[in-house]
Chain A
Amino acid sequence: MELLHAKLDRSNNQTPSIFDMQTPESNAVLIATGLNKTFPGDHGGLNIFNNISIHADAGESIAIIGPSGAGKSTLLSILAGLDEPSQGSIELLGQSLTGLDEESRAELRSNHISFVFQSFQLLPELTALDNVQLALEIQGHPEPLKQAGYWLNRVGLEQRHQHTPAQMSGGEQQRVAIARAFATEPSLLFADEPTGNLDDKTGTEIIDQLFELNQQLNTTLILITHDASLAQRCQRRLQLHNGQLLEL
């Protein structure tokens, strides 16, 4: 439990940044308004979506579903500040992302956002422990090794600390990715088809773990999936269809 307090202690050890300042009276983590994305092209460009707005509160779990090619991943990348919308604005923890430079976005990701990918995205040369530790080191955590070990134990990989991704199963690799994502204690976690590369049983175990941590840590979870049963487990379900986002 001592380690769980690290997030609170961290602010004492680090230089304050613009992203440490959450508005106390508001519970909103993410507010996206009037998002529009068009890729430039010969005939007026390709419009992916229009006038999309999303509001996500702390601890909320939201599924974005839709058929392949609907623009789910594009929306995720814009919400996470990896890409710029053609129009619209995004506020994260009360701060606008518009006009932020690459350095500030990197700081934002490091301190408040985590990702879980379909293809795990672990560094193959690092052990499970090193992979988790790396994210903490980038964040500037005072005790990255201890914290990384704690989180690997928490996802049930006590015996796998020193294994590299190649020595682990898909499910185990995704658990490492989840440990890495939660270890930095993010406000917002984006998961892009997190069970897409796993069998049903393993997928279910992974999702159970994801929701459990989402609840325990009050982390906002935005999940991209085309799996209706998985989407059902989220508090809110948004469908991206024909460039519009509909709340189901």
Chain B
Amino acid sequence: MRPKQLINLALKQSRSDLRTFEWRALLLALLLATTLATFLTLLGNQLENGLSRQSASVLGADLTLSDSKPVSQDDIATADALKLQHTKVVQFSSMLSTEEQILLSSIRAVEAPYPLRGELRTDPPQSTPIPRPGTAWAEQQLLQRMGVEVGTTISLGYSSFKITAAIISSPDRGNGFRSFSPQLLINRQDLEATRVVQPGSRIGYRTLFSGTEPQIREYAAQLSEDLTPQQRLWSVYADQPMAAGALTNASSFLRMTSLFGLLLCGLLITLSLRRYSSAQYRRSALLKCLGLKPKQVLHLYLIKLIFGWSLAAILGSLISIILLQLTGSLLQTILPAGLPAPDYRLSAVGPLLSLALLLVIGFSPLLQISRIPVMGLLRRDQLSHQGLSWPARLTILLLTGVVIAFYLGSAINALVAILLTVGTILVAGVFASLFLPPAGRFLARYSRLGRLLGFRIRQQRQWHRIQLGIMSLLLALLSSLLLSQTELVNRWREQIPQDTPNQFVINIQPWELEPLSEFLQQAGLSPNLYPMIRGRITLINDQLPADVLTPEQLQHNSLRRELNLSWAAQAPKHNQVIAGKWWPTDTPDNLISVEQELAESLGLKLGDTVGFEIAGQKLSATVSNIRQVEWRSFRPNFYLIFSPKAMEQYPQTYITSFKLSGEQAELSRELLKQFPALTLIDVSQWIDQASELITRLIQASTLILGLTLCAGLLLVQLLLYQELEQRRHENALLQVLGSTPGQTRRLDLLEFALLGFTSGAMAAVLAEIVTGLISYRLLNLPLILHPSIWVLLPLTGCAVFTLGTLISRRRSGYQQLRQT
């Protein structure tokens, strides 16, 4: 037979096979596997790119080097060699003045091109990327506070600038307190003429870089080697403010969902292939009888599988792209920079994964089809299914593991998944052999065909073991997904609780404490006020950090910049002391409370001494306790908190935060009117964005759960179909022998209800274990039991099985026998 004829035959058979349940199930399994893997890969890539771009638009670049002096020519030469785009920014605080008003502002002097990432939006929109010489763009807050409008001329040092636009949004606002002040953007050419930058002035120099990820990573690595204590690197690939926690959780959930979905699809492919290959034995024997060689039979079925896979690959890719468009429109609005298109080359991942799964799982059944003896046409017993040897099964399992590990990029996750699968089926086997016979005897009392039920349980125990194992795993996986999704939602909701502050007030002077507290209390707000001062860690246990820490520890940011320090008589309410004790209110000692992550990074233990340089003075304090801090709480948090006595001689300012609702907007204006020296930072927009991001991600993950559910339901249908096929003939015989249809139906219902209940009960145990692992390993949540599933899962198992049994009973006994 010529290859073309073989392909034609394969095509013809594939088309007609669409009428068969097993071929449809196999195609659906491939379609689901392809769709799941493609969709998750593209969505993951899109989110990652989107969040990187989001970070980039916050930074205005892919990489930012900040320093207290201008960037060196060597660093610029290296960037040029790596073909990175770069631009320089000078930022400093200075007083702006009009005839009526003066205001301490943060001035950004920039040069084109600017910014390198993100968008600088102005009102009215401007034709140039940066202000023309002699002009300036001011933030809305600055215009409001100075009581001026666009078109006004303001003075900065010895120069005057006409404000030609209001800044609506701007990347690269800098970091630290300069970023909190209202900002003015000027052209760098004008800087010298202002004469505000003099030797000794406190100036921040930033150099922004952009390029491809490998270029940026390489350059960042080179810069990191020689960073001075004053220098700081910000990279979109290392620093993802705000969304980092949500992204980590979302990625964990996506990975977990994809793992479960793929496992289900793997099971589906295995079972549908098994059924399909069994159904093909007679056909294969006939083709061989007509003269087709075994190799040609193998080729024929390989071509058919490739046809099926191609169909699934095309449809799956299309569906995943449509799903991506849906999620894209959901997620588009949440990131100011918008969601970038994913790398569509990754669409190949899903089809390749399903092809790998198909070949790994499918090759053995195909080999069996091609080896079926022609004798089977004369003697039916020759067409019976030949079980795989254990080495072959283990090889398939191992190869499936390798495929999944390759896709997930984690051998451990794949290993856990496979161990879980095999373990579940083994445990289910043991459980079935222990539980089913006595349960069957008990139920037999309620049916005239009770003896037959016992006989069935004995006769089908091998099949029951497999079926119970798979059903238990399926129900457990689906309920784990639902449970963990709920927990994830809760976790995200917890991340941004209802009372999350959206306003920060800084630069509060000690004499303003009392009137400010009074003002806030009158407005119904009672926030805590935290003292704050900046200082640098200089010694650890009286030695230089370089002498006692490893090179990795020395890279920690806390050693390379000034830290915001605070002091308190009592532990902050939203911090938890996890080691040591909080100090007595009136302790005369110099004590510090260290944040947990910092303590771990620097190896600080209780009783260690840490030396500081604060406002040019040396200070030493003993570690008294270690705190756990929820950084994502949007409250003022500190790495280091001192006992009050230690800090009493230092000048103090205070910081506080509180939540203002939309209707209380007037309050912030009133606050600034009464306390003009304060700096008020409105972060409500950031929180709204984060909140929306979380909600949208949950909606997107529901789509993934939907796909996984489809795979699960298909698997249930496949299992029931297979089992009921066997039952039909037996029931037909019983009816011919005198049983009523009602009796055989009751027998089926009893058997399947028992199987459903047992699967559900085992699934409940498994679901607790799986969700426990997810909570503990992936989400860092405390372990909790879910009593509802102990009732719901056995009932669901019963309901699914009995409903399936009722739906599948269509033919009468005589029809069935005649067909057989």
- A interface, CB within 8 angstroms of B: 73, 76-77, 82-83, 102-103, 106-107, 109-111, 115, 117, 121, 123-126, 130, 134-135, 137-140, 180, 184, 192
Chain B residues near A115: list those with CB within 8 A. Answer: 289, 377
A136 to chain B, nearest CB (A): 9
B12 to chain A, nearest CB (A): 7
- How far is B19's CA from A125's CA once the two chains are assembled, in angstroms? 9
Q: In the complex, are the beta carbons of B373 and A82 less than 8 A apart?
A: yes
22 contacts between A and B (CB under 8 A): A73-B379, A77-B374, A82-B375, A102-B294, A106-B293, A109-B288, A109-B289, A110-B291, A115-B377, A121-B289, A125-B12, A125-B16, A125-B17, A126-B12, A137-B2, A137-B5, A137-B9, A138-B1, A138-B287, A138-B290, A140-B1, A140-B2
Q: Is B456 an interface residue (CB 8 A)?
A: no
Q: A82-B373, A117-B377, A137-B5 are in contact. Are A107 and B16 (CB under 8 A)?
A: no
Chain A residue nearest in CB terms to B378: A73
Among residues 534 to 566 in chain B, which have CB atoms less than 8 Å away from a CB atom of chain A? none
Q: Is B815 an interface residue (CB 8 A)?
A: no
Interface flags, B271-293, vs A, CB<8A=1, else 0: 00000000000110011111111
Chain B residues near A180: list those with CB within 8 A. Answer: 290
A105 to chain B, nearest CB (A): 9
B281 to chain A, nearest CB (A): 13
Among residues 252 to 310 in chain B, which have CB atoms less than 8 Å away from a CB atom of chain A? 282-283, 286-295
Q: In the complex, are the beta carbons of B294 and A107 less than 8 A apart?
A: no
Neighbour of B291 across the interface among A76, A130, A135, A192, CB < 8 A: A135
Q: In the complex, are the beta carbons of B9 and A82 less than 8 A apart?
A: no
Interface flags, B1-36, vs A, CB<8A=1, else 0: 110010001001101110100000000000000000
- How far is B6's CA from A161's CA once the two chains are assembled, in angstroms? 21
> Which one of B13, B17, B292, B293 has the greatest number of beta carbons of chain A within 10 Å?
B293
- B interface, CB within 8 angstroms of A: 1-2, 5, 9, 12-13, 15-17, 19, 282-283, 286-295, 373-375, 377-379
Q: In the complex, are the beta carbons of B294 and A125 less than 8 A apart?
A: no
Q: In the complex, are the beta carbons of A109 and B290 less than 8 A apart?
A: yes
> Which one of A73, A82, A103, A192 has the greatest number of beta carbons of chain B within 10 Å?
A82
> Helix, strand, loop or mixed for chain B's interface?
helix
Q: In the complex, are the beta carbons of B378 and A82 less than 8 A apart?
A: yes
Neighbour of B294 across the interface among A82, A103, A121, A124, CB < 8 A: A103
The 10 closest A-B pairs by CB, nearest first: A110-B291, A125-B16, A106-B293, A137-B5, A73-B378, A138-B291, A109-B291, A135-B290, A82-B374, A138-B1
Neighbour of A106 across the interface among B5, B12, B292, B375, CB < 8 A: B292
Chain B residues near A103: list those with CB within 8 A. Answer: 293-295
B110 to chain A, nearest CB (A): 72
Chain A residues near B287: list those with CB within 8 A. Answer: 134, 138
A219 to chain B, nearest CB (A): 16
Q: In the complex, are the beta carbons of B290 and A134 less than 8 A apart?
A: yes
Chain B residues near A123: list those with CB within 8 A. Answer: 13, 283, 286
Chain B residues near A184: list those with CB within 8 A. Answer: 291
Q: In the complex, are the beta carbons of A107 and B291 less than 8 A apart?
A: yes
- How far is B294's CA from A103's CA once the two chains are assembled, in angstroms? 7
4 additional contacts, CB 8 Å, given A73-B379, A126-B12? A76-B378, A106-B292, A121-B289, A125-B12
Chain A residues near B16: list those with CB within 8 A. Answer: 124-126
- How far is B287's CA from A125's CA once the two chains are assembled, in angstroms? 13
- How far is B379's CA from A103's CA once the two chains are assembled, in angstroms? 21
Chain A residues near B5: list those with CB within 8 A. Answer: 137
Chain B residues near A73: list those with CB within 8 A. Answer: 378-379
Chain B residues near A134: list those with CB within 8 A. Answer: 9, 287, 290
Q: In the complex, are the beta carbons of A83 and B375 less than 8 A apart?
A: yes
> Which one of B9, B15, B374 has the greatest number of beta carbons of chain A within 10 Å?
B374
> Which one of B5, B291, B374 has the greatest number of beta carbons of chain A within 10 Å?
B291
- How far is B538's CA from A238's CA once the two chains are assembled, in angstroms? 109
- How far is B12's CA from A121's CA once the two chains are assembled, in angstroms? 18
Q: In the complex, are the beta carbons of A107 and B293 less than 8 A apart?
A: yes
Chain A residues near B289: list those with CB within 8 A. Answer: 82, 109, 115, 121
- How far is B292's CA from A140's CA once the two chains are assembled, in angstroms? 11
Q: In the complex, are the beta carbons of A106 and B294 less than 8 A apart?
A: yes
- How far is B293's CA from A117's CA once the two chains are assembled, in angstroms? 20
Chain B residues near A107: list those with CB within 8 A. Answer: 291, 293
Chain B residue nearest in CB terms to A130: B12
- How far is B13's CA from A117's CA once the two chains are assembled, in angstroms? 22
- How far is B15's CA from A103's CA once the two chains are assembled, in angstroms? 28
Q: In the complex, are the beta carbons of A106 and B378 less than 8 A apart?
A: no
- How far is B9's CA from A123's CA once the two chains are assembled, in angstroms? 11
A17 to chain B, nearest CB (A): 11
Q: In the complex, are the beta carbons of A111 and B378 less than 8 A apart?
A: no
Chain B residue nearest in CB terms to A224: B378
Q: In the complex, are the beta carbons of A192 and B378 less than 8 A apart?
A: yes
B368 to chain A, nearest CB (A): 15
Chain A residues near B2: list those with CB within 8 A. Answer: 137, 140
- How far is B16's CA from A184's CA once the two chains are assembled, in angstroms? 25
- How far is B1's CA from A139's CA once the two chains are assembled, in angstroms? 6
Chain A residue nearest in CB terms to B293: A106
Chain A residues near B17: list those with CB within 8 A. Answer: 125
> Which one of A106, A107, A180, A192 has the greatest number of beta carbons of chain B within 10 Å?
A106
A64 to chain B, nearest CB (A): 13
Chain B residues near A102: list those with CB within 8 A. Answer: 293-294
- How far is B290's CA from A180's CA once the two chains are assembled, in angstroms? 9
> Which one of A123, A140, A192 has the greatest number of beta carbons of chain B within 10 Å?
A123
Chain A residues near B288: list those with CB within 8 A. Answer: 106, 109
Neighbour of B290 across the interface among A76, A82, A83, A110, CB < 8 A: A110
B375 to chain A, nearest CB (A): 5
Neighbour of A121 across the interface among B291, B293, B295, B377, CB < 8 A: B377
> Which one of A83, A124, A137, A192 has the greatest number of beta carbons of chain B within 10 Å?
A137
A166 to chain B, nearest CB (A): 10
Chain A residue nearest in CB terms to B295: A103
Chain A residue nearest in CB terms to B379: A73
> Which one of A117, A125, A126, A180 has the greatest number of beta carbons of chain B within 10 Å?
A125
